[in-house]
Amino acid sequence: MTRSVPRSTFGSWAPRKDRNVIAILAAQERTRVQDLLPIRHERMRASPFAFYRGAAAVMAADLADLPLTGLHVQACGDAHLMNFGAYASPERSIVFDVNDFDETLAGPWEWDILRLTASVVLAARGSSFGRRPTSDTALATVASYRAAMAHFASVSPLEAWYDHVELADMFASPPASAADLKSQLLEQHASSPEQHAPILRGAKQQRFVDQPPLFRKIALDDDESALAKDVLETYRTTLPDNVQVLLDRFQLRDLAQKVVGVGSVGTRCYAALFQTDRGESLVLQLKEADASVLEPYAGASTYPQHGQRVVEGQRLMQATSDIFLGWTSSAGTAYYVRQLHDMKTSFPVTQMRPRELTRYARLCAWTLAHAHARSGDPQALARYLGRGTAFDESALAFAATYADVTEADYKLYCRTVTA
């Protein structure tokens, strides 16, 4: 049931005086691989936008102070601009969708669209767009979400469920200013996966290339490889029978520890290289799954372990997902497994001009609305959002305020966290 929350409410948000950003981030790091934390700190000090990417836990605490409509969806939990992108569907077409689910949880729809809109403001400011282009891009983002939800409310559940965006559709009639973006994106898709998992190729043998500390080879006979092998063995049982048959055609050849993302740095992550007898390769990523940053405010996951929470959330939000998605636990730690960068790429958000960023942000908002419509009640959401711009203006006001707060948090972080 929708609660009576005026659409203008979100624009009046203000930070609590007792916020302790450093304490929240430090609490996250207690269970992480300590030797990798300097990499996390360095990445978060790169810019306010980079800091924002690593501070989902901070924003979750801030968003919890807002009144809510009571409408829940499968929330991404970290819906910023860099957590959308293109990847290969099982049918081998290139699709665009949400592509990061570490924080996914059933929760308020508002939190996702507000995090996305604030990320638009921060990205635009980082590119020195100016106040008007920044506001216009943020408003266009929210308007796209609202229009998409109205569309999904008007069609059958099956039509809404199967809807998706393919890369070819995105550039069917690109504006001239998007030409460079299109060229770069297509070049990334044409490249091989070694850019994400460095591989040394031989006649029939392939091996990972050691590139510490970001990509460190693991000997197949040491203790750390035993953990990864245990994850792989038990993960297999969570796959459908037909995918198990496919996986069994490959043999494990090499393992490496991998550093990923900004917010995820320090979580345990491995890359596993498999090959057939003829030399065809498959690379899987094994990633630790912690509790979602939303859980203290939206409630605990209904799934027994966090790897399953991530996988089931991904399947619910994405129009099409990796067939190798699965989960397991080892030594008390939850993991999920997927292909490592199966034609996956992110857009160069920080290099976009205003028209490009607006177009990309609108696409992200459409995609987010689609994910929410798959798991929530699009009719109720569309009714709340309305046909006017009241919610758009409110979300923009929130995003501008939150960008100001994030920039102040970033300066504090740079002064406080130096190693």
Query: Both 47 and 162 in a single domain?
Result: yes
Question: Is 177 a domain residue?
Answer: no
How many structural domains are present in the chain?
A: 2
Nearest Cα neighbor of 253 from 267, 268, 234, 232 is 232
Query: Both 164 and 209 in a single domain?
Result: no
Query: Both 167 and 65 in a single domain?
Result: yes
Question: Is 181 a domain residue?
Answer: no
Where does a domain end: 313, 339, 365?
A: 339
Query: Both 332 and 360 in a single domain?
Result: no
At position 202, the amino acid (one-letter code) is: G
Contact 289, 53 (CB under 8 A): no
Nearest Cα neighbor of 57 from 290, 368, 316 is 290
Question: Is 186 a domain residue?
Answer: no
Query: Both 68 and 141 in a single domain?
Result: yes
Query: Both 231 and 311 in a single domain?
Result: yes
Residue 287's pLDDT band (cuts 50, 70, 90): very high
Q: 264 to each of 25, 258, 291, 386, how far by Cα in Å?
A: 12, 11, 12, 36
Question: Is 179 a domain residue?
Answer: no
- Supply the pTM of this predicted model: 0.93
Query: Both 14 and 127 in a single domain?
Result: yes
Q: How far is CA 7 from the centre of its chain?
A: 27
Query: Both 331 and 250 in a single domain?
Result: yes
CB contact set of 363 (below 8 Å; sequence gap of 6+): 84, 96, 144, 165, 170
Contact 74, 334 (CB under 8 A): no
Question: Is 344 a domain residue?
Answer: no
Residue 39: which H helix or E strand, with range?
A: helix 37-44
Contact 55, 288 (CB under 8 A): no
Q: How far is CA 89 from the centre of its chain?
A: 17
Where does a domain end: 278, 311, 339?
A: 339
Lowest-confidence region among 65-74, 126-135, 335-344: 335-344
Residue 261's pLDDT band (cuts 50, 70, 90): confident
**Predicted pLDDT of residue 117:** 98
Question: Is 1 a domain residue?
Answer: no
Query: Both 30 and 166 in a single domain?
Result: yes
Question: Is 183 a domain residue?
Answer: no
Question: Is 2 a domain residue?
Answer: no
Give pLDDT tens digits for 169-224: 665 544 444 445 445 555 544 444 434 678 776 656 788 999 999 999 998 888 77
Nearest Cα neighbor of 293 from 71, 121, 57 is 57
Distance CA 274, CA 255 (A): 9
Residue 337: which H helix or E strand, with range?
A: strand 333-339
Q: Long-range CB contacts (< 8 A, 24+ apart) of 23-31?
A: 24/57, 24/58, 24/61, 25/54, 25/55, 25/57, 25/58, 25/413, 25/417, 27/57, 28/57, 29/266, 31/290
Residue 166's pLDDT band (cuts 50, 70, 90): confident
Residue 91's pLDDT band (cuts 50, 70, 90): confident
Could you tell me the residue range of the domain that residue 102 belongs to? 7-172+351-416
Where does a domain end: 282, 306, 339?
A: 339
Nearest Cα neighbor of 369 from 168, 158, 98, 171 is 98
Query: Both 289 and 149 in a single domain?
Result: no
Query: Both 295 and 364 in a single domain?
Result: no
Query: Both 93 and 197 in a single domain?
Result: no
